[in-house]
């Protein structure tokens, strides 16, 4: 699903936070290499999850630097 989101122009810039119950080491490496902004393993620390969501929203709301053409 993440690969599809990243390939699709309309969804390629949507930040994704992934949650899983699989092996934490394998999951984290695979998740981050696929382009997610953060990953969490169950059981979830809800405080950390909420902090991460806030950080992602704050980053998305920040003005982006202009690029030269």
Q: pLDDT for 2-55, tens place per residue?
A: 888 889 999 998 999 988 888 777 777 777 788 888 888 889 999 999 999 999
Does the pLDDT at position 65 exceed 70?
no
Confidence of residue 66 (pLDDT cuts 50, 70, 90): low
Burial of 31 (0-12, 13-18, 19+ CB in 10 A): buried
SS3 content of the chain, % helix, strand, coil (to 5): 45, 10, 40
């Amino acid at each position: 699903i993440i690969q599809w989101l990243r390939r699709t122009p309309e969804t390629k810039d949507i930040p994704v936070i992934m949650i899983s119950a699989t092996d934490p080491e394998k999951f984290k490496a695979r998740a981050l290499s696929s382009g997610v902004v953060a990953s969490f393993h169950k059981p979830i620390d809800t405080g950390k999850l909420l902090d991460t969501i806030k950080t992602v929203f704050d980053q998305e709301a920040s003005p982006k630097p202009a690029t030269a053409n």
